[in-house]
Amino acid sequence: QAATKYGPQGSRLAHGAAVRAAACRGDSDRLRQLLRKCVIESTKKLDLSSDDILETIWHMAEKSRDGKGAECSQLVEQMLNCTIRDSGFFRKLFREIERHICHRHYYTALSLLEDTKRVSDCLENQRRNRERRNPSAFLDRLHRPQWTGID
């Protein structure tokens, strides 16, 4: 209903609120059902804001049986794989990692850290591919004098 009345942005906000509410209640079946509805078919990404996704992960960790987020870590990884990384996402992600560690939600913190490692590996592979296509860039880096800290 939100999509017809308020457009795509209203639908996105309504889905975000519903997903967070399901996580707050600890209703994992409803949460999974809502997440499936939020997938954009063409891109296989979640049509949720990064704030909604990170808050949902937080509530899942808070409601976990062991208090560390062990049983929800697989769903967290799946959510992060389908997240649209908008501007400021990594800053928010690092803040969330700190928050999860401070509150002893170690499994979800580890899932968040693994996502940063995966993205870091992708960026490193892109850099290597650029150097393979343009070997002179690699050679320029080798011949460029490095600052030694000695004046």
What is the chain's pLDDT, residue by residue, as a tens digit (151 residues)?
Answer: 666 677 778 888 999 999 999 999 999 999 999 999 999 999 999 999 999 999 999 999 999 888 777 888 899 999 999 999 888 888 899 999 999 999 999 999 999 999 888 777 777 887 888 777 776 655 555 555 555 545 4
Whether residue 134 is contained in a domain is answered as yes
Domain that holds residue 119: 2-142
Number of domains in the chain: 1
Whether residue 85 is contained in a domain is answered as yes
pLDDT attached to residue 151: 45
Rg of the chain over CA atoms, in angstroms?
A: 20
Whether residue 147 is contained in a domain is answered as no
Whether residue 149 is contained in a domain is answered as no
Whether residue 151 is contained in a domain is answered as no
Return d(Cα 57, Cα 124) in angstroms, integer: 27
Return d(Cα 57, Cα 48) in angstroms, integer: 13
Q: Which of 74, 72, 56 is nearest to 64 (CA)?
A: 72
Q: Rounded to two decimals, what is the model's pTM?
A: 0.77
pLDDT attached to residue 141: 59
